[in-house]
Structure 1
Amino acid sequence: MQFVKVGLYDGAQHSGKELVIEEQAITWSNQQTKVPVSVCSYRCAPGFRTAACRGQPLCCFDCVPCESGKISNQTDSVDCLPCPEDYWSNANGTSCVPKVIEFLSHDAMGMTLTVIAVIGAFLTITVLVIFLYNKGTPIVRVNNSELSFFILLSLTLCFLCALIFIGEPTSWSCMLRHTAFSITFSLCISCILGKTLVVLAAFTATRPGNNIMKWLGPTQQRIIIFCCTLVQVLICTVWLVVSPPFPYRNTKYQQSKIILDCSVGSDLAFWCVLGYIGLLACVCFFLAFLARKLPGNFNEAKYITFSMIIFCAVWLAFVPAYVSQPGKFTTAVEIFAILASSFGLLLCLFAPKCYIILMKPEKNTKQHLMGKVIT
């Protein structure tokens, strides 16, 4: 044992300064100059909780970070408190903050889809104006101008109905989303189906004794379109009456977010709506496929076949993405499917006609379209 002078007491000094300690001269065990700490564990800061160490005294504990969704705002908290349902813990685990609300808003993604939808509607209206201006030319007349106008109007509505999916879901927007989309697409595919029947009947009617065209006049074509669309309207009406879509706050899929989405209400009605559109597309594809090799320089059945292949491929690819996970990306995929299938129909059905009207007017003759031009 050694006695070391580490300070002195001078009673002549002012009050409070009598005792002078030289801390550098104090040496603790193992020749250390730091004062030893007489506790087993340091205190746990806010955002942590104490966890006792097995086999150690009560003063020995570990500091464990609070789990996600729980907080501790005091030092040496024994437990972490859970946040309310619409709140989540911050990064430090010291306070509860409101959960992030996620839906497809007019952000970069939403604005991009909006611009694409508006461009698609503008292109469709442009094609409609071109067809109206050239409605007396053979290429417009031979392909049933009235049905072409119906298809272009329904395609315009298809592009515009994609805009309903962007923004915060409400009761009205949820009911309007799928019903407007399903009815407009049913109208469009019904018009294409009517056009396909006319093309198939027109070439079949050239055979002797075949008078099938009298059963596919303008009135009958309108009845076919009306009846095919009416079936979808009835399905949507029953859907809205029995179990309509409604806005839904999904807090289960991602606990740190509130996903605002539209619940379809009745899954059966939703898949019936999609299934009916698929049925119309398949029937249209089958009939167009049968007529694809009929004579004529401009056999429209070939283009209808291509358009139905694109349409079916887009929606078959959409289904797995739709059922995979909720959120704004699923809504964006649904909008993309609407836009991609609409662009596919527009380009396949009307791009070749517009090319001939605008770039090759010499081919816009009845003889050339019927394959009677001798070169």
Structure 2
Amino acid sequence: MTTSALSYNIYNAVYAVAWALHEILMKRSEKRSLGNEESLLPHPWQLHSYLKNTQFKDVVGEQVFVDENRRTEAQYAIMNYVPSAVCTASCPAGFRKLPLEGKPPCCFSCSPCSEGEISSHRDAEQCQKCPEDEYPNEQRDYCLPKTVTFLDVNEPWGKAGTAVALSLSLLTALVLWVFVKFQDTPIVQANNRNLSYLLLTSLSSCFLCSLLFVGRPTTASCLFRQTVFAVVFTVAVSSILAKTIIVVLAFRVTRPGSRMRIFLHSRVPYCVVLICSGIQVLFCAIWLGTSPPFPEADTHSESRHIILTCNEGSAFAFYCVLGYMGFLALGSFTIAFLARNLPDAFNEAKFITFSMLVFCSVWISFLPTYQSSKGKAVMIVEIFSILASSIGLLGCIFIPKCFVILLTSWENTIKQNKNQRSSRSKDFSFF
């Protein structure tokens, strides 16, 4: 008979499968006759193995296929199709093969690659990690380059922080102008106007130092961010501490036989500010000399972005600087709280108590938030803490005084306090 090449190949393929099934079933029949109750139907992987390793006879010539290359394409097609059709299909790109316990090697499950990993070809045994400056696409079969980003002044958070900082700094400068213009009023004189000027100037600088956290980080900006912030805030807090100490001393020295008169000197508040601020400057100098902050690229906080930020260099030094500032704030709060019941005419302790309560609350909540934040959120949290704590000092200490100065007739206030000021003029001459 004559036959085509395709028919011949199909014939050989069917013959090969039939031969394999016949041999397997014959062996199983022999095992069953010996008492083995194993099923007569072979597993697909057994058929695959038998088709792959057994030498078959040519149907026409009864010749043995010794050479592997002489097997027909149809036989290979059947060998490859049988296991995949009845066990496990191929794993696509983006997945990896996981072997199944107790199953033959041809049976496996397909597991998607983990976060940050890809597999670029089918039936991958393992997934590969993308480089630090790249991230996987949605299918996790290709790596894409990450976008470099930072807290830019043109983005919404950058614009908001810059606008608020400039507005509050301008407001503080306006309050300072009011205090200078009405410097001869009793309310300004009674609160040590020189310390008030220093405190308002430092608060205006506190608002402006938040701008150091906006923009592309550089070596210079990283060095000045934390150190300028720490020194300026220390000047502000130490000024409040000096005002608190002076308020307490002013009432203590009026007692007969008080030994505190030696501390009631015009230079005392400035010495307090100078010493407290000098200690903070020393801390910052040690920090910059041993392990200064530096710019770095954060590739781990966000999967698709490289965040340009500042590394603090020494976390211990950073928290020492914050801790010292908190110690001064806590001291001011404690002294002001104990002096809150002094006479109202010259008592600023209540306002200082509220301002320090706001200040400490902001920075106590800042620590856990700062630790749990990543990427640009770290800078946003710090900007918010700087602005919020500065607003607390400005609002609690100076806004009520501005209300009295601008909306109340200070001429009547002078008449009301004329006798009181004249009786205390000797003790409060340094105000």
User: TM over 0.5: same fold?
Assistant: yes
Per-residue CA deviation, residues 313-334 of structure 1 (Å, 9 max, x unaligned), is: 1111111111224322232122
Between the aligned partners of 2:149 and 2:419, the Cα distance in structure 1 is 57
Is 1:120 matched with 2:168? yes
Residue 46 of structure 2 is matched in structure 1 by: none
Aligned position for 2:130: 83
| Alpha-carbon offset, residue 81 of structure 1 | 3.4
1:224 maps onto 2:269 in alignment = no
1:276 correspondence with 2:331: no
Larger Rg: 2
Structure with greater proportional helix content: 2
Q: Is the 8 A contact 2:133 2:146 kept in 1?
A: yes
Alignment counterpart, residue 99 of structure 1, candidates 132, 146, 152 = 146
Letter aligned with residue 112 of structure 2: P
Find the aligned partners of 2:114 and 2:372 in 1 and give their Cα distance: 27
2:235 aligned partner? 187
Matching residue within 177, 188, 198 for 2:246:
198
CA pair 100-130 structure 1, distance change in 2 beyond 3 A: same
Q: Which amino acid aligns with 1:283?
A: G
**Percent of pairs with identical residues:** 45
Q: 1:310 to 1:370 in 2, by over 3 A?
A: farther
> Does the 8 Å CA contact 1:102/1:327 hold for their aligned counterparts?
no
Listed as ranges, the matches of 1:1-375 within 5 Å are 40=85, 45-49=92-96, 55=103, 58=106, 63-75=110-122, 77=124, 79-101=126-148, 103-106=150-153, 107-210=155-258, 212=260, 215-253=263-301, 257-362=305-410, 365-366=413-414, 368=416
Structure 2's unaligned 5+ residue stretches are 1-77, 422-431
State how far apart, in whole Å, the 2-side matches of 1:371 and 1:90 are.
80
CA distance in structure 2 between the partners assigned to 1:142 and 1:104 by the alignment: 43
More deviation, 36-45/134-143: 36-45
Tell me the alpha carbon deviations over residues 290-326 of structure 1, each in whole angstroms, 9 at most, x when there is no partner. 2211113352111111111111111111111112243
Distance 1:43 1:371 in 2: 98
Question: Structure 1: 5+ residue runs without aligned partners?
Answer: 1-35
1:210–1:370 distance in 2 versus 1, CA, 3 Å:
farther
Counterpart code for 1:66: C
* Cα distance change of structure 1 residues 190 and 370 upon mapping to structure 2, 3 Å threshold: farther
**Do the aligned partners of residues 356 and 170 (structure 1) sit closer, same or farther apart at CA in structure 2, a change above 3 Å counting?**
same
Check the 8 A contact 2:190/2:346 in 1, yes or no: no
1:135 Cα deviation (Å)? 1.2
- Structure 1 CA distance for aligned equivalents of residues 189 and 212 of structure 2: 35
What is the distance in 2 between the residues matched to 1:77 and 1:218?
80
The number of residue pairs the alignment matches comes to 337
Change (3 A) 1:311 1:363: farther
What is the deviation of 1:98? Answer: 1.8
Q: Which TM-score applies when normalising by structure 1?
A: 0.80
Task: Please say if residues 301 and 375 of structure 2, whose CA atoms lie closer than 8 Å, have aligned partners that are also in contact.
Answer: no
Q: 2:308 corresponds to which letter in structure 1? A: L
Over aligned residues, Cα RMSD in angstroms?
2.8
Q: Given the superposition, is the C-alpha separation of residues 209 and 370 from structure 1 closer, same or farther in structure 2, using an over 3 Å criterion? A: farther
Contact 2:294/2:311, CA 8 A, preserved across alignment: yes
Does 1 or 2 have the higher relative contact order (CA < 8 Å, sep 6+)?
A: 1
Contact 1:295–1:371 (8 Å) recurs in 2: no
Residues of 2 paired with 1:228 and 1:167: CA distance?
31
Aligned AA for 2:246? V
The 3 A distance-change label for structure 1 pair 224 and 137 is: same
CA offset digits 1:8-64 (Å, max 9, x no partner) = xxxxxxxxxxxxxxxxxxxxxxxxxxxx98762666544344566774684x66554
Query: Given the two structures, how large is their TM-score scaled by the length of structure 2?
Result: 0.70
SS in 1 for 2:135: strand
Change (3 A) 1:190 1:45: same
- 1:209 is displaced (CA, Å) by 4.0
SS state at 1:218 partner: coil
**Over residues 227-273 of structure 1, what are the superposed CA-to-partner deviations in whole Å (9 max), with x where a residue is unaligned?**
11100000100010011122233344555554433222222211211
Distance 1:370-1:289 versus aligned 2 partners, 3 A rule: farther
1:120 is displaced (CA, Å) by 1.2
